Amino acid sequence: MSTERHYEREFVRTFFTSPTAVKGEEDSAKMIRSAAQLRGMQAPDVWVPDNEDATAPNMRDEGARNVAEVVAEHGAEFPGEIHPRVVWHRDSPGTRYRGFQHMLEIADPDNGAVEHIDGFVIPEVGDVDDWKKADEFITVVEHEHGLEAGSLSMSVIVESGEAELAMGDLREEMGKPSNNLERLFLLVDGEVDYTKDMRAMTPTGELPPWPELRHNTSRGASAAGLIAVDGPYDDIRDVEGYRERMVDNRAKGMTGIWSLTPGQVVEANTSPLPPESGSWLVEVDGEDVDLDEDEDGRQVYEGDDLGLEETADGYVLRVGSDEQELDAEELHEELADMASYVPSMDDIVNSMEEFEAAKEAGRGAIAMTQSATVVIDGVEVEVSRDRMWDEATYQAAQTPINLFQDVYEHRPDQHEELAEMYGADVVERAMDVGN
C-alpha cells in the first residue's frame, strides 16, 4: 500500500505569510485584510496570517484577535487554505502556553472564523516529542470548542537540527493510538533560524543554501505522505534568484516555497506549472543557454561562447576557446549531446497521450523523437534526440500534470488565467490525460 495522505491538496505551491497586526496603522489588521481579498494567481495555495516572526511580540495578542475577525469576514470567499501561525518554542513553556491561548482564541466558534481555518502552523519545534505536545494542544483546542477531532491540521517549521532529525521518525510515529500526528500537513523549512541553530557561518553573513535540509525535508514529506515547502527567500526583489531556487527545489521534489510578498506569490504559483511553449537549451561550459526561436521555427544561438564554421571538408565547432574539426555526422552527434528540450504543457500531454495509445495497442516502450534546426553563426544543423518512453517514464512525466490537475481542481479562481496561458483545448486534454 502506498503512503496514505490525509488532506485534500496533493501539492502546495505557495505558503504566504502576512503580519497579523501592524502598529501605527489606523487599522492594525490592514495587511491581513488586504491579503484575505487576493484572488487568482495573486492568491496563495496556503495563506498564513503570521502571529509569530512577521508580527512584533507586543502586537501578538491584538494579532490573534485580528486573525479571528478578518477570517470571519473574508474566510468564506478566500480561494486558498488558511493556516495561521502561532508562537511556539521547544525550549520555552511560556511561549508554548501563549501559542495555545492564541489558538484557543482564533478557533473559538463564537468568533466565527474557525469554519474557514484549515489548521495551524507551529514554528520552532524540536524533537518528535515536542511535535506531539503541539499536536496535543491542538487536540485540546478541538475538544474545548466542540470541534471534530483531527479537523485542524498541523504544519511545522523545520528550523532546528532536532526537528530535521524528527522528520525521520514520522512514518513510525504517525498513527500511534497515543497521538494525533495524522493531522500533519506541511513540513516547511526555516533556513534563518536553522542557520542559527546549526551555528553555521559564512564570510558575508548570507544564508547558506542548505541543499541537505531541503533534501531531507522533501524525503521526510515523501516518507510520511506530507508536503514539503522551502523557507523564505528574503531578497524580495530578486525574481531571477527566486525562480532559480524553485527550479533547484523541484528537482528535489519540493514543489512549494514560502512567499513574503504578493509579487512572490504570483511567481511561486506560476513557476511549477509546465511552460506554455517548448524551448531548446544548449549546455556550454556547464551553463544552460536558451536558444531563440526565429520566425521560421529555427533555434538560433545568440551568444559568443559557441562558434560554427563550414569548411571544405566539414565543420569547425568552437566551444569557448576549444576548436574541433568534425564531419557532418560527428557535428550532429556533438550538438545532440549539448542540446536539450524543455517540453511545454502541450508536449507533455501529447507524449502521454501517445504513450497511452501505444500501451492500448500492446506496446510497453516506444521512442519519442524531438528534433529542431539549430543555427549557430548562420550555419544550420539538424538536431534530433530519441528518448525511450516506458511506464516509468510515463509516470515520472505525470508529476507536472498531477500538479496542474490538483491546481485546477482546487483553484477555480485561477481557471481564467490558466485558460489564457495554455488555451482551453490544452487545459481540457491536460485534465483528461492519465486518468
Ligand X SMILES: CC(C)(COP(=O)(O)OP(=O)(O)OC[C@H]1O[C@@H](n2cnc3c(N)ncnc32)[C@H](O)[C@@H]1OP(=O)(O)O)[C@@H](O)C(=O)NCCC(=O)NCCS
**Interacting residues with ligand X (CB under 6 A):** 17-19, 31, 34-35, 50, 53-54, 232, 236, 260-263
CA-to-CA separations, 37 to 26, 34, 76, 266, in angstroms, rounded: 19, 5, 11, 15
Residue 44 Cβ, how far from ligand X at the closest point, in Å?
Answer: 10
Query: What is the distance between the alpha carbons of residues 99 and 64, in angstroms, rounded to a whole number?
Result: 10
Closest CA to 87 of 117, 125, 115: 125
Residue 32 Cβ, how far from ligand X at the closest point, in Å?
Answer: 7
Query: What is the distance between the alpha carbons of residues 371 and 278, in angstroms, rounded to a whole number?
Result: 12
Question: Whose Cβ is closer to ligand X: residue 76's or residue 236's?
Answer: 236
Run of H or E including 149: none
Query: What is the distance between the alpha carbons of residues 363 and 361, in angstroms, rounded to a whole number?
Result: 6
Residue 406 Cβ, how far from ligand X at the closest point, in Å?
Answer: 24
Question: Whose Cβ is closer to ligand X: residue 18's or residue 351's?
Answer: 18
Residue 99 Cβ, how far from ligand X at the closest point, in Å?
Answer: 16
Residue entry with cell 501529447: 350
CB atoms within 10 A of CB 14: 28
Residue 50 Cβ, how far from ligand X at the closest point, in Å?
Answer: 5
Cell numbers at 1, concatenated: 500500500
Q: Please give the angle made by the CA atoms of 403, 421 and 427, to the nearest 5 degrees.
A: 55
Question: Whose Cβ is closer to ligand X: residue 34's or residue 277's?
Answer: 34
Residue 370 Cβ, how far from ligand X at the closest point, in Å?
Answer: 39
- SS3 state at 95: helix
Answer whether 218's CB lies under 8 Å from 212's CB. no
Cell numbers at 312, concatenated: 571544405
Query: What is the distance between the alpha carbons of residues 218 and 109, in angstroms, rounded to a whole number?
Result: 35
DSSP 8-state secondary structure symbol assigned to residue 160: S
Query: What is the distance between the alpha carbons of residues 435 and 413, in angstroms, rounded to a whole number?
Result: 23
Question: Whose Cβ is closer to ligand X: residue 256's or residue 343's?
Answer: 256
Residue entry with cell 484549515: 118
Question: Whose Cβ is closer to ligand X: residue 19's or residue 63's?
Answer: 19
- SS3 state at 196: helix
Question: Whose Cβ is closer to ligand X: residue 34's or residue 92's?
Answer: 34
Cell numbers at 295, concatenated: 520566425
Q: Please give the angle made by the CA atoms of 43, 400 and 395, to the nearest 5 degrees.
A: 150
Residue 127 Cβ, how far from ligand X at the closest point, in Å?
Answer: 22
Give the rounded distance of the alpha carbon of 230 from its chain centre: 7
Question: Whose Cβ is closer to ligand X: residue 50's or residue 189's?
Answer: 50
Query: What is the distance between the alpha carbons of residues 326 and 334, in angstroms, rounded to a whole number?
Result: 9
DSSP 8-state secondary structure symbol assigned to residue 78: -
Question: Whose Cβ is closer to ligand X: residue 39's or residue 387's?
Answer: 39
Question: Whose Cβ is closer to ligand X: residue 20's or residue 153's?
Answer: 20
Residue 31 Cβ, how far from ligand X at the closest point, in Å?
Answer: 4
Question: Whose Cβ is closer to ligand X: residue 54's or residue 70's?
Answer: 54
Residue 412 Cβ, how far from ligand X at the closest point, in Å?
Answer: 22
Q: Please give the angle made by the CA atoms of 57, 134 and 84, to the nearest 5 degrees.
A: 50
Residue 301 Cβ, how far from ligand X at the closest point, in Å?
Answer: 36
